[in-house]
A = this chain, B = another copy of it.
Amino acid sequence: MNPYAALSLNTKTVNSWTLKQAVDGAARAGLGAIGPWRDRVQEVGVAQAAKMVSDAGLRVSSLCRGGFLTAIDDDGLDDNRRALDEAAELGAPELVMVMGGIPDRDLIGARARVEERLASLVPYALDRGVRIALEPLHPMYVADRAVISTLGQALSMAEPHPAEAVGVVVDTFHVWWDPDLESLIATAGERGRISSYQVCDWLVPMEADPLLSRGMMGDGVIDFGSIGSWVRDAGYRGDIEVEIFNEKVWATDGDQVIETMKQRYLDLVAAPHVHENT
């Protein structure tokens, strides 16, 4: 069995690569899947991107990203419907959504807009057969990027909608600190809501730009063993995406990044039986 069958390369991890390079690199390394960002897909067009991935024998684990539903003037629905179309055409089962920050000081109002606009996207997502994957971002991003800050909050926002329409993303960087993480992951699993499991590490000290502080697994302080076992115990058997925003990683040769990622995946992230079989 290929020990990397569930390992997915998010295109952000090899930020200087084109989609073609990323697809070829992932295939060459024996990974099972790729998680493209929309701008990478748009470089070649959705139809061509879909063919490229399929020809390489890869799955699309998720499409990054829709969302940004908090603006006061623009409700963002048109762009999100396009993103759902793209995901459907690409064969991506999940569209990751980052919800957007606060345009003013009204956090409560911004969250209310998200709930309302999410509801209006659900029928479209069901029609396209693509799940909306709500991504809670670390609370340090609440002002400028995402008003969903915890897995609990994402689950509450998902709850009014069918599990096949709205799920949640478990990204170690964003949720590792949460004192309720174990039970929240279990709840997400019981409700069939885990859309995606993304991994990267929390660096100490943080980088000066908090957006670029995501590190390679093992370079920081996250206990991947515990979190990974909670995710598995919750029944998640999908792809595990590695998504790293980090200048040093981006300055490293892509193939070398993937090699390191594979090794750290086996050492720290993969289920123990995967490790034993290699």
Contacts and interface: CB of A to CB of B under 8 A. Distances in A.
Interface of A: 102, 104-108, 111, 138-140, 142-144, 148-150, 152-153, 156, 176-180, 202, 204-206, 208-210, 220-223, 226
Contact of A210 (B105, B140, B177): B140
A214 to B, nearest CB: 13
B210 A179 contact: no
14 contacts: A105-B221, A105-B222, A138-B139, A139-B139, A140-B140, A140-B206, A140-B210, A143-B202, A143-B204, A144-B205, A149-B178, A150-B179, A152-B179, A208-B208
Contacts of A208: 208-209
Contact of A204 (B106, B144, B153, B180): B144
A69 to B, nearest CB: 16
A167 to B, nearest CB: 18
Taken together, the copies of this chain in the complex come to: 2
Most B Cβ at <10 Å: residue of A140, A177, A208, A209: A177
- Closest 3 interchain pairs by CB? A208-B208, A142-B177, A139-B177
Contact of A105 (B149, B180, B223): B223
Most B Cβ at <10 Å: residue of A106, A107, A176, A226: A107
B205 A107 contact: no
Given A106-B223, A108-B223, A138-B140, 4 more contacts: A107-B177, A107-B223, A149-B178, A206-B210
A156 B105 CA distance: 29
A214 B220 CA distance: 25
Contacts of A204: 143-144
A144 B142 CA distance: 21
A190 to B, nearest CB: 21
Contact of A107 (B107, B150, B176): B176
A111 B226 CA distance: 15
